[in-house]
Chains A and B, each alone.
Chain A
Amino acid sequence: MTLNLTTPRPDIVYLRRRLKRGESLPKTSTSSEATSTSLFLAPPESENSFVLPEKPALESTTVLTNENPVVRLDARQSAIGSIQFDNADHFGWESGKLSGMVYADDSNTNNMPSFSNRKLAEFYKGKLVLGLRHAKELRRIIVGASSGVMKMTMPNGNTVVTDTEDGYKVLHISRIGNILEIRMEILEEGGIPGTFSINTNSF
């Protein structure tokens, strides 16, 4: 059985890729193709699109709580400008190739991938900055603050803040296709602020 890994799937957001010039979109599967010996990845005729479950969108000020811990950015918000994190003092990142690292605000971030002489994420003028132009390289980034409220500011001034109840929290920012999802998570009991790690296959 042949696994077709090259045909783009524009109907599934997280499998969408840029077409080569002149390349056409794949056609929807037919009953005859469905009975072929190769694994055909086109959607069934009855379902033409995959839709992510609904999550709250960003508002001017979004407070993440235990009851509402997730906010999702749209495609524009996920790729234009940069995000600034107030009060963050450490972060861990993981690329799509499952390499990653954890940094504190006094760490040397020389191993961080750079694009146009800017690091993907770094502490800049006392704040953590995540550049969005190349955020597609990320699988996830986890941002923590040792104390206090963490505030995430978007280029247009919209903010996301964590509440301060129930202990130490981090913001887990994951990439889903072309959008970023921000989830507030509580460190498991006994977790020590500033000492979290990211387990990847490469470690």
Chain B
Amino acid sequence: MTSVVNLQAGGNVGITANNPLLKELVVGFGWDTISSNGPLPELVPSAILTDKSGKALSAEHFVFFNQLATPDDSVRYVTGDDKEQIEVNLSLVPEVVEKIVFIVYVDPDLRKPGNFASARGAYIRVADREEHDIARFDLANYDVEVTAMIFGELYRYKGLWKFRAVGQGYKNGLSEVAKSVGLSI
């Protein structure tokens, strides 16, 4: 069992370097929302599989609560601990995929959608199937006006998989993130 690596934004850690046989990962997301009598922001974790050019493979390679798995079943929304969880089976990820980007967006409802200002204690963690944490990124500081944020990404590096903590926010929400990877949502 390896000890968990706590990352700062921009930091990375090898996922398969010490364990080349590791194929199945659990990516957990968590946060708290400050209670209020008014509408609360609804945070939604998601994942997009991108190729070497940074573009999404297809709209079907965007995984969230209403599109539970990629066509190849390599990335799948599951029910488990944390607020939400996404499973990744590295052995099923198509060769053309260079990155799996994990985004948490605020649902853009017309009625006071809110932003990350009401969120506290947001984190992303990567664990193996036995719940042994490999990496964790606690998002301590972020611009409260953002409405979507890349929490982290799994990426290929010299034939191995690594995880990078990102923490990059977008003020124009999921549509802005999607546009950056060539998707129209």
Q: How many angstroms from the CA of A115 to the CA of B64 in the assembled complex?
A: 18
Chain B residue at minimal CB-CB distance from A18: B79
C-alpha gap A133/B68 in the complex (Å) = 14
Contact B185 A21, beta carbon cutoff 8 Å: no
Q: How far apart are the CA atoms of A144 and B87 in the complex, in Å?
A: 42
Question: In the complex, which residue of chain A has the Cβ closest to the Cβ of B43?
Answer: A116
Answer whether residue B62 sits at the interface, using C-beta atoms and an 8 A cutoff. yes
Chain A nearest Cβ from B74, distance in angstroms:
12
Interface contact B87-A155, CB-CB below 8 Å: no
**B108 lies within 8 A of A155 (CB):** yes
Chain A hits for B77, CB < 8 A: 18
Indicate if the CB atoms of B184 and A156 lie closer than 8 Å.
yes
A81 lies within 8 A of B65 (CB): no
A16 at the interface (CB under 8 A from B): yes
The prevalent SS among residues of A at the interface is loop
Question: Is B10 at the interface (CB under 8 A from chain A)?
Answer: no
Q: Is B22 an interface residue (CB 8 A)?
A: no
B109 in contact (CB, < 8 A): yes
Known A10-B69, A82-B111, A118-B109; contact A21-B80, beta-carbon cutoff 8 A: yes
B18 close to A (CB within 8 Å): no
A15 interface contact, C-beta 8 A: no
Interface assignment of A39: CB less than 8 Å from any CB of chain B: no
Question: Which residues of A lie under 8 Å from residue B184 when comparing CB positions?
Answer: 156
**Number of A positions contacting B (CB below 8 A):** 31
Residue of B36, B79, B80, B107 touching A117 (CB-CB under 8 A): B36
Cβ of A21 and Cβ of B108 under 8 Å apart?
no
Structural contact, B67 and A117, CB atoms closer than 8 A: no
Instruction: Judge whether B93 is part of the interface by a CB distance below 8 angstroms.
Output: no
Please give, as numbers and ranges, the residues of chain A lying within 8 Å of B78 by CB-CB distance: 18-23
A117 CB contacts on chain B under 8 angstroms: 36-40
CA distance A16 to B15 in the complex (A): 31
Report the separation of the CA atoms of residues A85 and B26 in the bound assembly, to the nearest whole angstrom. 40
A51-88 interface (Cβ within 8 A of B): 74-76, 78-82, 84
When A76-B185, A78-B66, A124-B110 are in contact, do A22 and B129 touch as well, CB less than 8 Å?
yes
Interface core residue of B44, B68, B174 (most chain A CB under 10 Å): B68
Q: Is A171 an interface residue (CB 8 A)?
A: no
List A131-153 residues whose CB lies under 8 Å from chain B: 131-133, 136
| Interface set, chain B 53-91, CB cutoff 8 A to A | 59, 62, 64-69, 73, 76-81, 85, 87
Give the distance in Å from the alpha carbon of A158 to the alpha carbon of B172 in the complex.
Answer: 18
- Flag whether B42 is at the interface (Cβ < 8 A): yes
Given contacts A19-B78, A79-B64, A178-B66, 7 further A-B contacts (CB under 8 A): A21-B81, A25-B73, A75-B66, A117-B37, A117-B38, A131-B111, A136-B66
